[in-house]
Amino acid sequence: MSIIQDSLKPEVQQFLAGSEKEVTVDFYPYPESPASQPMQELFEELAALAPFIKPVVHQDRAKPQGVEQPEDVEGPVATLSVDGAFTGIRFLGFPGGREFSTLLADLRDLSQGQPTELSPETQNWLRDLTSPLHLEVFTTPT
């Protein structure tokens, strides 16, 4: 069974067309999570639709970053790299629903050399943080 519906595959392929740079998707499964296998299959399907996407499956779990604790990363993780350099983009958990379009846009933009950086103002604000910040982002389709 496909993760990406067959009827959507031509549209996804067209959206990702014209990409040049290789984007490596480092995938760190989390065996206890039911999302691990579908997430790995999703990246394999994307690689079949767009040859610039190179999934690499790691056997170890993703390591926490910054102030994260191990329990903050309890699920499958995918990181995106270009030319061997980590872009700072991570997907924690299955990028389905609304996150799927974000994943596709990130893959396309990175492969076309488009900037995916935060604004200078946001970067400065983050740099000025002096203590850990717990930030949760919720999305809704309405």
Q: Assess if residue 3 is contained within a domain.
A: no
pLDDT digits (tens, 9 = 90+) for 80-90: 999 999 988 89
Distance of CA 13 to the CA centre of its chain: 17
Distance CA 138, CA 97 (A): 13
Name residue, tokens 């595959």: 9
pLDDT grade, residue 24 (50/70/90)? Answer: very high
| pLDDT category of residue 17 using cuts at 50, 70 and 90 | very high
In 6-52, which ranges are E strands? 23-28
pTM (2 d.p.) = 0.82
What average pLDDT score do residues 110-137 get? 81
Cα 129-134-140 angle, rounded to 5 deg: 120
Domain of residue 56 covers 9-127
Q: Is residue 4 in some structural domain?
A: no
The CATH number assigned to the domain holding 66 equals: 3.40.30.80
| 109 part of a folded domain | yes
How confident is the model at residue 134, as a pLDDT? 78
Total count of domains within the chain? 1
